[in-house]
């Protein structure tokens, strides 16, 4: 195994030998695990700050769980007792597309809500939750909540309608939560709140994870599930396949970018060489200036 591959494999587990719960695959296996509905319920209550009577995981299965698979479905779709739909995703790596991903998930949830011919009044609220193992937004908070709100009233467009208080939300049907774990760890809060207990579980810091277990029985249950998965050779192999698949994909993408850049530079050199030939420049000078070989320049003639 190449050195780079060995380094990547070392990242497959935390310092205590457990699979990393910040892996999107491991996260879904823990929280969509059969019998762990109460664990997921506790996490969602902590994030959304609501009481949840019951919930249903709509996509407990893992699709495309080998490195050969092109499609891997690792978000968790949940339906609450009041019809609210929630999409939860753990994102370990910054691919620079969280805004687009969140918007797409929200759009998909809304599209699932109404079949052709249904009245709009039947629409239920949709929520996207992104737990990020990196900082993304320029916000001074580790838990940011976004809703579809109106901008401040433009003075030039103001009409005195007698409203003492204007509506702030354009729609109550969409909500997004972004939790950035590095900011949380920098804040280093105590274990007093349920949300902090869960986020310390995701921190990967052994002592803090143990403290969170003692504080919260549901966190303890999630840890037991994580330990069980970490002991299973099949689960470790799946995680390894996904992780190394992503690693090699990043290498392929980097090489493709480099090739594209080189090809772009070559095209620029060819255009410059053509213009220099039109001006009857010496081939040797053209070669020195553009980096093209004399043979390549001769062909351009």
Banded model confidence at residue 15, pLDDT cuts 50, 70, 90: very low
For 225-245, write each residue's pLDDT tens digit.
Answer: 999 988 988 877 777 766 555
Q: Find tokens 């999107």 and name the residue.
A: 24
Q: Residue 192's pLDDT is what?
A: 92
- Structural contact between residues 132 and 89, judged by C-beta atoms closer than 8 angstroms: no
Q: Is the pLDDT of residue 287 over 70?
A: yes
For 110-136, write each residue's pLDDT tens digit.
Answer: 888 776 556 777 789 999 999 999 999
Task: Identify the residue with better confidence: 247 or 111.
Answer: 111
- Structural contact between residues 208 and 200, judged by C-beta atoms closer than 8 angstroms: yes
User: 42: which DSSP letter?
Assistant: H
The whole-number average pLDDT for the span 155-162 is 92
Contact partners, residue 78, CB within 8 Å, separation at least 6: 40, 44, 55, 56, 57, 58, 85, 86, 87, 88
For 85-116, write each residue's pLDDT tens digit.
Answer: 999 999 988 888 999 999 999 988 888 877 65
Closest to 54 measured CA to CA, from 63, 46, 45: 45
Q: Find tokens 């553009």 and name the residue.
A: 290
The CB-side HSE value for 68 (13 A sphere, CA atoms) comes to: 0
């Amino acid at each position: 195994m190449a050195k780079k591959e060995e380094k990547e494999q070392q990242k497959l587990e935390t310092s205590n030998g457990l699979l990393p719960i910040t892996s999107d695959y491991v996260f879904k296996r823990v929280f969509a695990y059969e019998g762990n509905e109460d664990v997921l319920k506790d996490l969602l209550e902590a994030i959304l700050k609501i009481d949840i009577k019951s919930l249903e995981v709509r996509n407990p299965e893992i699709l495309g769980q080998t490195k050969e698979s092109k499609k891997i479905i690792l978000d968790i779709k949940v339906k609450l007792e009041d019809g609210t739909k929630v999409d939860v995703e753990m994102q370990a790596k910054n691919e620079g597309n969280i805004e687009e991903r969140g918007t797409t998930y929200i759009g998909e949830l809304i599209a699932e809500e109404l079949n052709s011919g249904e009245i709009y009044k039947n629409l239920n609220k949709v929520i996207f939750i992104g737990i990020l193992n990196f900082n993304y937004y320029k916000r001074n908070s580790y838990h940011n909540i976004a809703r579809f709100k109106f901008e401040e009233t433009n003075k030039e467009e103001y009409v005195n309608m007698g409203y003492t208080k204007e509506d702030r939300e354009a729609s109550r049907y969409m909500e997004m939560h972004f939790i950035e774990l590095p900011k949380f760890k920098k804040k280093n809060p105590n274990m007093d709140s349920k949300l902090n207990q869960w986020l310390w579980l995701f921190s990967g810091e052994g002592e803090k994870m143990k403290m969170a277990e003692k504080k919260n029985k549901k966190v303890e249950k999630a840890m037991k599930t994580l330990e069980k998965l970490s002991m299973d050779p099949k689960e470790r192999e799946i995680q390894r396949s996904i992780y190394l698949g992503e690693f090699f994909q990043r290498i392929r993408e980097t090489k493709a970018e480099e090739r594209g850049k080189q090809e772009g530079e070559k095209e620029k050199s060819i255009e410059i060489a053509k213009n220099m030939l039109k001006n009857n420049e010496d081939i040797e000078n053209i070669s020195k200036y553009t980096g093209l070989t004399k043979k390549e320049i001769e062909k351009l003639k």
